[in-house]
Structure 1
Amino acid sequence: MEPSELRRAVEAGRAIASEVGLRVDDVVVVNNSDRVALRLVPCDVLARVAPSRHLADSEFEVQVARRLADVDAPVAELEPRVEPRVYVRDAFAISLWTYYEPVETEIAPADYADALMRHHAVLRQVDLDAPHFTDRVAEALSAVTDRRQSPELPDADRVLLSSTLSELSAAISVDKAADQLLHGEPHEGNLLHTKRGPLFVDLATCCRGPVEFDLAHAPDEVEQHYAGADQDLVQRCRAVTWAMFSAWRWRREDQMPDRDHWRVEGLNRVRASLNRCELG
């Protein structure tokens, strides 16, 4: 968020937490993009604050978290001291979560794969109405094909992203027999290393598809430890996920930090992924 919007988001998060009886003496910005994560102290709560246009996504995320709490999934939990819901204040949607002190070591690929396998096993037990991953691909494709949304995207790169998103995702989704509920974006930024073990966050991306779609978001080494994974399908999914990532970076309103770097890097990752699966 831009500085003025970020200040309003911080105040909205602080105000809501105070209103529901949590003590807030200070606010630390943990992450700032189009949405922000705030650590509220001394109550030690994580507030996720998004512009109200993302209200439906925030409500879906809370719904997913509530369902997964019943089946002991390896995910971050909603704050137990307050009502599990989304609060709205000053054009922001706010949800309150348990804050986990991070463990300052990397998660080993085998442990990463184990957490993802356990998460997938739990998700197979949950009956939840979630979009198919191709619905999310369609949103990314819309950002690419609509020049008003991505006016700075070069023509050659527009063709690259468009063909990758449309043709490759269609090929991946031909056989839906093995589709299941997924996290949607279990990349390193969405997996916390805590004293409880690895925990997934950012549950609003939950969707249906092959487990390889989730694996494509993880570091390359993780797929080697995930039993039964189709390595070729992982590579195709990785090309699609990087194309989706690139599509978001080229949107006019995207606010990811260091966006110019990631615009170039994202396109490079798409090409590298296509070459690895011999589709470039």
Structure 2
Amino acid sequence: MEPWELRRAIEAGRATASELGLQVNDVVVIHNSDRVALRLVPCDVLARVAPSGHLADSAFEVKVAHHLADVDAPVAELDPRVEPRVYVRDAFAISLWTYYEPVGSEIAPADYADVFLRHHAALRQIDLDAPHFTDRVAVALREVNDREQSPELPDSVRELLSDTLSGLSAAISIDKARDQLLHGEPHPGNLLNTRRGPLFIDLATCCRGPIEFDLAHAPEEVGKHYADADHDLMHRCRALNWAMFSAWRWRRHDQMPDRDRWRAEGLNQVHAALARCGLG
């Protein structure tokens, strides 16, 4: 968010928690992008604040959290001291979560794979209407193909991303027999190492697809510890994921910090991933 919008988001998060009886003396910005994560102290709440245009996504995330709490999934939980729902204030959608103090050690690949296995098993136990991963690819493809939405995207890059998104999405989705509920974006930034063990966060990306789509977000070593993973499919999913990541960075209204660097890095990763699966 831009500084002026971030200030409003912080105040919306602070005021919402205070009116619910939680003590807020200070606010620490944990993450700032199209939506922000705020640590409210001393009540130790993690407030996720998004523009009201993201209300449906925030509500879906809360719904996913409800379902997964019932099956003891390794995910961050909503704060138990307040009603578990999305609050709307000053054109922002706000949800309140338990804050987990991160521990310093890096999550080993075998432990990362183990939490994947437990999370995927939990997801198989719940009944939830979620989009297919190809729906998300279709959104990225529309952004790439619409010059008004991605005016700075060079023609050669536009063609590369369009071909990669459409071609790999179609190839990966041919066989839906392996599809199940997934996290959707379980990259290292969305897996916290806590005293309770590793916990997934950012549940709004939950979708359906093959488990390799999830595994492709993690470091490559993780997939080697996940039983029965299709490594060729994982490589194709990794190329597709990087193509989607790159598509978002070229959106006219993208607010990711250091966007120019990530534009270049995303394209480098697309080329490397395509070469890895013989499509370069």
Per-residue CA deviations over 1:178-228 (Å, capped at 9, x if unaligned) read: 100000000000000000000000000000000000000001110010010
Alignment partner, residue 35 of structure 1: 35
Q: Which amino acid aligns with 1:63?
A: K
Shift of 1:20: 0.7
Distance 1:149 1:95 in 2: 29
Per-residue CA deviations over 1:78-127 (Å, capped at 9, x if unaligned) read: 00000000000000000000000000111000000000111001100110
Alignment partner, residue 255 of structure 1: 255
Q: Give 3-state SS (helix, strand or coil) of 1:31's partner.
A: strand
Distance 1:215 1:153 in 2: 29
Q: Kindly, what percent of the aligned residue pairs are identical?
A: 80
Alignment partner, residue 48 of structure 2: 48
Per-residue CA deviations over 1:12-57 (Å, capped at 9, x if unaligned) read: 0000000111000000000000100000000000000000000000
Q: Which amino acid aligns with 2:227?
A: A
Q: Give 3-state SS (helix, strand or coil) of 2:31's partner.
A: strand
Q: Which amino acid aligns with 2:130?
A: A
Q: Which amino acid aligns with 2:175?
A: D
Q: Does 1:268 align with 2:268?
A: yes
Per-residue CA deviations over 1:227-278 (Å, capped at 9, x if unaligned) read: 1000000000000000000000000100101110000100110010000000
Equivalence map 1:1-280=2 (5 Å): 1-280=1-280
Q: Give 3-state SS (helix, strand or coil) of 1:225's partner.
A: coil
Distance 1:200 1:262 in 2: 23
Q: Which amino acid aligns with 1:261?
A: R
Q: Which amino acid aligns with 1:27?
A: V
Q: Segments of 4+ in structure 1 off by > 6 A?
A: none
Q: Give 3-state SS (helix, strand or coil) of 2:224's partner.
A: helix
Q: Give 3-state SS (helix, strand or coil) of 1:96's partner.
A: strand
Distance 1:24 1:47 in 2: 11
Distance 2:268 2:66 in 1: 38
Q: Give 3-state SS (helix, strand or coil) of 1:235's partner.
A: helix
Gaps of 5+ in 1: none
Q: Give 3-state SS (helix, strand or coil) of 1:25's partner.
A: strand
Name the TM-score, length of structure 2 as normaliser: 1.00
Distance 2:250 2:176 in 1: 30
Q: Which amino acid aligns with 1:156?
A: S
Distance 2:162 2:19 in 1: 46
Q: Give 3-state SS (helix, strand or coil) of 2:39's partner.
A: strand
Gaps of 5+ in 2: none
Q: Which amino acid aligns with 2:142?
A: S
Distance 2:258 2:204 in 1: 23
Distance 1:30 1:103 in 2: 15
Distance 2:163 2:49 in 1: 34
- Count of aligned positions: 280
Q: Which amino acid aligns with 2:13?
A: G
Distance 2:76 2:260 in 1: 31
Distance 1:128 1:278 in 2: 36
Q: Which amino acid aligns with 2:200?
A: F
Q: Which amino acid aligns with 1:210?
A: P
